Amino acid sequence: MQSKFVMSMSVAAFVAAAFAAPVSHAAPEKIIKIDGSSTVYPITEAVAEEYQKSTKTKVTVGISGTGGGFKKFCRGETDISNASRPILQKEIDDCKANGVQFIELPIAFDALTVVINPKNEFAKTMSVADLKKMWEPAAQGKIKTWKQVNPAWPDQPLKLFGAGADSGTFDYFTEAIVGKAKSSRGDFTASEDDNVLVNGVAGDVNAIGYFGYAYYDENKDKLRAAAIVEKAGSPAVLPSRESIENGTYQPLGRPIFIYVNATAAAFKPHVKGFVDYYLTKSKPLIEEVKYVPLPQKDQDAVIKHWKELKPGTGFGGVAEVGVKVEDLLSRIK
């Protein structure tokens, strides 16, 4: 009797599993594997969702962070890697060691947004120099009040919220503000989950934090974006679609990328078809998920670059800040 019970239990599990999945086609399936940055994820997810409605190709998207995504990509495990910063030298070496060549495609812009509490009236604009003073490694344990950063600001404690050290956002912010990727003070509240940062800054008058524009856009009622002065004498610029597109929101406006395995691009028609779709049809999807599409001129240049299947990176393995998309593509020979 008891063995019957065990049997019926396992049979039940099997049958349930069997009915859960509809009968599929026997033909070998075309699956495109994508992994990488959580910043680029919403765009790729939207494109994958739409693309799968019109074709039989299957697309999977994971979130491992830009660095984690490149690790898998350079082992040849994925076809496409989402990246919120350019590929670094170490990752290029890894790819080379495994014979993986890649095609670098900028797909949209994001603006790293510096946010403060809406009740904070004194720091509506701040300069890159101010930000550097707050975030550089030398500030650790020393810069504790707003007044220490800028004498015009009140003598109130400074509460810092920032991206976790594995994210491309952290790499880019430190490169743009401090001048060296991954170089930051360590005594701040770090989280890979940007909603933690949103709540942190929304709940503390003395807080300041940074994350991608989409998180600010969804929480405008709880946060205030700071206008950024690039260098002494230049105007204070708020992050917005216009300022990102025309390149005045510097140095925190950044292009985001997908990297395509060059072998897959050349020999797997379904991968090629997906990237074609990505580059030509993604504009409304990018806007829908609150990112800024490339200007048409740049978009055309990227499509041309893709058609020629030119492998390589325009960055030479460093996370360079403020490069124009056109210049970038023309550097790849």
Partner 1 sequence: MTEQVKPQASVLANLDEVRAMIKRHKLNDSIFAIIGLVALMIGLLTLLTLFVDLVMDGYPRFNLDFMSEFPSRRAGSAGLLSAWVGSLLVLSVTFISAVPMGVGAGIYLEEYAPKNWFSDLIEINVTNLAGVPSIIYGLLALGLFVYILGLGQSIITAGLTLGLLILPVVIVSTREAIRSIPVAIREAAYAVGATKWQVVSQHVVHYSFGGILTGVIIGMSRAIGETAPIITIGALTFIAFLPPSPVTSEPPFLNFDWLFSGFTVLPIQMFSWLSRPNPEFHINAAATGAIIIVVTLLMNGTAIWLRYNMRKKIKW
- Which residues here bind partner 1, judged by CB under 8 A? 1-2, 5-6, 9-10, 13-14, 16-18, 20-24, 26, 29, 31, 33, 38, 41-42, 44-46, 48-49, 52, 58-64, 72, 192-195, 212, 214-215, 217-219, 285, 288-290
Q: Which is nearer to partner 1, 3 or 296 (CB)?
A: 3
Query: Strand pairing partners for 14?
Result: none
Shortest Cβ distance from residue 291 to partner 1 (Å)?
11
136/225 Cα distance (integer angstroms): 21
Q: Which is nearer to partner 1, 37 or 206 (CB)?
A: 37
**Token digits of residue 160:** 């810092």
Shortest Cβ distance from residue 246 to partner 1 (Å)?
24
CA distances from 266 to 24, 51, 214, 261, 270 (A): 28, 20, 34, 9, 10
Shortest Cβ distance from residue 106 to partner 1 (Å)?
21
218/238 Cα distance (integer angstroms): 16
Instruction: Please answer whether residues 281 and 89 qualify as being in contact, where contact means their C-beta atoms are separated by less than 8 angstroms.
Output: no
Helices (runs of H) and strands (runs of E) counted in the chain = 15, 13
Place of tokens 């060549």: 101
Shortest Cβ distance from residue 202 to partner 1 (Å)?
12
Shortest Cβ distance from residue 266 to partner 1 (Å)?
24
Shortest Cβ distance from residue 18 to partner 1 (Å)?
4
Q: Which is nearer to partner 1, 69 or 86 (CB)?
A: 69
66/181 Cα distance (integer angstroms): 14
CB-based contacts of 218, cutoff 8 Å, min separation 6:
290
Q: Which is nearer to partner 1, 75 or 331 (CB)?
A: 75
Q: Which is nearer to partner 1, 29 or 308 (CB)?
A: 29
**Token digits of residue 10:** 């396992």
Q: Beta 224-225 vs 207-212: how paired, if at all?
A: unpaired
Q: What is the DSSP string of 68-125?
A: HHHHHHHTT--SEEEESSPPPHHHHHHHHHTT--EEEEEEEEEEEEEEE-TT--S-SE
Shortest Cβ distance from residue 147 to partner 1 (Å)?
32
Shortest Cβ distance from residue 69 to partner 1 (Å)?
11
Q: Which is nearer to partner 1, 14 or 122 (CB)?
A: 14
60/31 Cα distance (integer angstroms): 7
Shortest Cβ distance from residue 227 to partner 1 (Å)?
21
Q: Which is nearer to partner 1, 61 or 116 (CB)?
A: 61
Place of tokens 């074609």: 276
112/226 Cα distance (integer angstroms): 11
Q: Which is nearer to partner 1, 216 or 259 (CB)?
A: 216
Q: Which is nearer to partner 1, 42 or 314 (CB)?
A: 42
